[in-house]
Homo-oligomer: A and B are copies of this chain.
Amino acid sequence: MERRRQARGERRMAEILDAAADAFAELGYEKASTNAIAARAGISPGSLYQFFPSKEAVARALADRFVTDMRAAHASAFGGADVAGMDLGELLDLVVDPLVAFNLANPGFKALFARPDMPSALAESSQPIQAAMLGQVESILDARVPGLAPADRARSARVLVRVFQAMTPLVAAAPEEERPAEIAELKRVLGGYLTSLSA
C-alpha cells in the first residue's frame, strides 16, 4: 500500500521527524501532542496525517532514523580495532566518546528509548539496536574477560548498557565545563566494573 511521494513530500517527512525529535526531547513522548509536532513542523494537523498514519508511526519512523544514525556513528568509531590487546583506558575512550557525542547531539533519542511507558510497537523498533549493542558489548567482554560463562556474559553486558544509559542524562544535564569530568566518571564506573569482573 506504498504511496507515491513527491520530492516535496519526502522533505516534509524529514521535517516532521525533526519536529517530533524536538518535541519528544522537550516534552516527553506523551505530552508531545501530534498538533504540537505539526505546529513545530510548520504544517497543519491534517498534513501530518498525510505522511504518517498515527503518532506511534511517527515515533517508529523517528526511532528507525535514530537507529540508523547511531549504527553509523558507532560503526565508524569502532572500525576493526584491536579490542583484546588494547589498554582499558583507550578502549573506553574508543567506545564511550562517540556514543556520548551521539546522545548529546540527539536529545530526542533517550526520550524515545528510555521511557518505561512507551507503546509496545516502539519497543519492537528499539529491539534491534538494543540487541546489536548488547552483542557488541558481549564481544568486547569475550575479548577482555575470557573466562565468563555465557549467562554471566549476557548479564554483564546488560549491566554495562544500563549503566551507560543511566549516566548519559547526568552528562547531558551537566554544565558545559563539567562535562569532561562527568564523562570521566562514566568511564570510571564502566572501567571499575570491568576490572572487577577480571579479578
Which of A28, A152, A163, A194 has the most chain B CB within a 10 Å cutoff?
Answer: A163
CB distance from A29 to the nearest CB of B (A): 9
Give the oligomeric copy count.
Answer: 2
Interface of A is mostly: helix
- In the complex, A39 has a CB within 8 A of chain B: no
Which residues, 168 to 188 on A, are CB-close (under 8 Å) to B? 169-170, 181-182, 185, 188
- In the complex, A156 has a CB within 8 A of chain B: yes
Q: A156-B185, A166-B166 are in contact. Are A28 and B191 (CB under 8 A)?
A: no
Closest chain B residue to A170 by CB distance? B162
Contact check, B155 vs A182: say whether CB atoms are below 8 A apart. yes
Query: Using Cβ atoms and an 8 Å threshold, which residues of chain B touch A31?
Result: 30, 117
Q: Which of B28, B152, B156, B192 contacts A116 (CB 8 A)?
A: B28
- In the complex, A143 has a CB within 8 A of chain B: no
Contact check, B196 vs A159: say whether CB atoms are below 8 A apart. no
CB distance from A135 to the nearest CB of B (A): 18
- In the complex, A122 has a CB within 8 A of chain B: no
Closest chain B residue to A191 by CB distance? B196
CB distance from A33 to the nearest CB of B (A): 13
Contact check, B197 vs A193: say whether CB atoms are below 8 A apart. no
Which residues, 10 to 38 on A, are CB-close (under 8 Å) to B? 27-28, 30-31
Q: Which of B116, B163, B196 contacts A163 (CB 8 A)?
A: B163
Contact check, B163 vs A189: say whether CB atoms are below 8 A apart. yes
Query: Using Cβ atoms and an 8 Å threshold, which residues of chain B touch A71?
Result: none
Contact check, A159 vs B167: say whether CB atoms are below 8 A apart. yes
- In the complex, A195 has a CB within 8 A of chain B: yes
Q: Which of B27, B167, B197 contacts A188 (CB 8 A)?
A: B197
Query: Using Cβ atoms and an 8 Å threshold, which residues of chain B touch A196?
Result: 188-189, 191-192, 195
Q: A163-B163, A191-B196, A195-B196 are in contact. List 9 more A-B contacts (CB 8 A).
A: A30-B30, A155-B181, A159-B185, A159-B189, A165-B166, A188-B197, A189-B192, A189-B193, A192-B194
